[in-house]
């Protein structure tokens, strides 16, 4: 079977094709493509693609509903970085606590290879393709001098709706730094890989807003490394679109750090949304707390997966996986899977997953106060989502 590269390279948007890549990065890209060309493309038999129709990735023409009057999310007082066909737009001059460079200036020792030979390589091919095909991106460095509420917005706004655009960013928080990073999907057919490096005692608050128009697609890998006593809270909203496939990959690299995430997944029509979180507890005394709330309507499909792997010796790890789901129609499908793989002796873990429908009793209560059925349902959905709103 032909590897991925052959089919997809033809479809890749290469707006930045005359970049001078450093030799080592060029070599990484070529080697990734070479390895991937021998791997099969994504298909339904793969765990992470069972509920996402991978053939949709290859549709070259998307029937995207045009956003008429596009309102950009509010970003007052924030540094906005727009990644578009035209390259990178940094807006105004940068504050002293922030430096931004194009991705080709990433120091080689900060590069994180995606493992293309391991057991998961096949599952991760779509995200891994980014390694061979990324055309631009930024390295964001935040120092410890960042003021309270310092905010950086990464906005993905590509005009080409049919070909895939591959973006790659590295976001580095220095020791003791504290920052809010907002990622906003605006337009395009985007495959993005971000590496968040959170140094000792640093605190990252991250918001990911992926509200897609019908027909749009978006694939991402968010990779986090958490150093000693660092803290990450990550809020994700994935709504609608033709296909969304998101992986959050968390590596603790020392002790006493905490990763918290809340995801709201909301799919209607024929949307496919996959929201996958993998947390590797390789060291002692780290906490991970993952909450998903998902709602599927019409003939939409949602896949929720929260996985924690606790290595031998990683005692004192604390893991919470809380996945709740609501089916709003008979044809909608949700698969929800909390997973624990524990090799350590002393671990505190709580996990649960439920799939239900909207609470009839509350629905009746709201209606008995005069609120119409549609609005009552909307209120119940907001109520349900609230439990996954963490920051």
Partner 1 sequence: MLEIKDIYAKAGDKEILKNLNLSVKPGEVHAIMGPNGSGKSTMGNLLAGMPHVTATSGSVTYQGKDLLQMEPEDRAAEGVFLAFQYPVEIPGVNNMYFLRTAYNAQRKHRGEENLDSASFLRMVKEKIKQLHMSDDLLKRPVNVGFSGGEKKRNEVFQMAVLEPNLAIMDETDSGLDIDALRVVADGVNQLRSPDRSFVIITHYQRLLDYIEPDFVHVLVDGQIVKSGTKKLALELEEQGYGWLED
> Which residues contact partner 1 (rule: CB under 8 A)?
359-362, 364-373, 375-376, 379-380, 382-387, 389
In contact, 169 and 137? CB cutoff 8 Å? yes
Residue 363 Cβ, how far from partner 1 at the closest point, in Å? 9
In contact, 196 and 230? CB cutoff 8 Å? no
Q: Which is nearer to partner 1, 345 or 359 (CB)?
A: 359
Task: Sort 182 into a burial class: Cβ within 10 Å, 0-12 / 13-18 / 19+.
Answer: buried
Angle (CA) 124-107-155 rounded to 5° is 60
Q: Which is nearer to partner 1, 226 or 381 (CB)?
A: 381
Residue 365 Cβ, how far from partner 1 at the closest point, in Å? 5
Residue 299 Cβ, how far from partner 1 at the closest point, in Å? 25
Residue 151 Cβ, how far from partner 1 at the closest point, in Å? 25
Distances (CA, A) of 100 to 86, 140, 232, 337: 17, 5, 21, 38
In contact, 259 and 288? CB cutoff 8 Å? yes
Return the SS3 of 74.
coil
In contact, 262 and 236? CB cutoff 8 Å? yes
Q: Which is nearer to partner 1, 7 or 359 (CB)?
A: 359
Other CB atoms within 10 A of residue 374 CB: 8
Q: Which is nearer to partner 1, 19 or 362 (CB)?
A: 362
Residue 358 Cβ, how far from partner 1 at the closest point, in Å? 12
What distance in Å separates the CA atoms of residue 179 and residue 183, rounded to the nearest whole number? 13
Distances (CA, A) of 375 to 167, 240, 328, 361, 363: 39, 19, 14, 15, 10
Residue 360 Cβ, how far from partner 1 at the closest point, in Å? 7
Residue 357 Cβ, how far from partner 1 at the closest point, in Å? 13
Q: Which is nearer to partner 1, 343 or 365 (CB)?
A: 365
What distance in Å separates the CA atoms of residue 278 and residue 250, rounded to the nearest whole number? 6
Q: Which is nearer to partner 1, 298 or 387 (CB)?
A: 387
Q: Which is nearer to partner 1, 56 or 377 (CB)?
A: 377
């Amino acid at each position: 079977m032909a590897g991925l590269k052959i089919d997809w390279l033809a479809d890749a948007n290469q707006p930045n094709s005359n970049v001078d890549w450093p030799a080592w990065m060029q070599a990484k890209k070529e080697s990734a493509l070479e390895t991937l060309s021998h791997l099969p493309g994504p298909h339904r038999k793969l765990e992470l693609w069972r509920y996402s129709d991978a053939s949709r990735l290859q549709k070259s023409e998307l029937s995207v509903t045009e956003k008429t009057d596009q309102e950009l999310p509010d970003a007052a007082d924030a540094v906005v970085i727009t990644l578009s066909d035209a390259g990178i737009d940094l807006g105004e001059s940068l504050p002293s606590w922030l430096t931004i460079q194009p991705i080709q200036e990433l120091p080689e020792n900060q590069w994180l290879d995606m493992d293309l030979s391991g057991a998961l390589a096949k599952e991760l091919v779509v995200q891994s393709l980014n390694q061979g095909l990324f055309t631009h991106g930024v390295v964001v460095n935040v120092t410890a001098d960042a003021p309270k509420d310092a905010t950086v917005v990464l906005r993905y706004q590509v005009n080409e709706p049919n070909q895939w655009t591959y973006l790659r960013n590295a976001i580095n928080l220095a020791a003791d730094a504290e920052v809010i990073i907002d990622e906003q999907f605006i337009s395009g057919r985007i495959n993005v890989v971000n590496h968040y490096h959170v140094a000792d005692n640093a605190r990252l608050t991250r918001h990911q807003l992926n509200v897609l128009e019908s027909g749009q697609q978006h694939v991402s890998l968010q990779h986090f490394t958490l150093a000693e006593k660092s803290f990450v809270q990550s809020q994700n909203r994935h709504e609608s679109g033709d296909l969304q496939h998101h992986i959050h990959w968390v590596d603790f690299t020392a002790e006493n750090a905490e990763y918290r995430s809340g995801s709201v997944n909301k799919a209607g029509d024929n949307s496919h949304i996959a929201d996958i979180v993998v947390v590797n507890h390789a060291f002692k005394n780290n906490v991970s707390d993952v909450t998903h709330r998902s709602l599927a309507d019409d003939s939409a499909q949602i896949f929720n997966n929260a996985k924690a792997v606790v290595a031998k010796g990683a005692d004192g790890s604390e893991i919470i996986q809380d996945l709740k789901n609501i089916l709003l129609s008979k044809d909608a499908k949700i698969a929800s899977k909390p997973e624990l793989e524990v090799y350590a002796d002393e671990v505190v873990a709580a996990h649960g997953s439920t799939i239900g429908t909207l609470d009839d009793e509350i629905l009746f209560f709201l209606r008995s106060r005069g609120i119409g059925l549609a609005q009552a349902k909307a209120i119940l959905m907001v109520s349900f989502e609230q439990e996954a709103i963490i920051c």
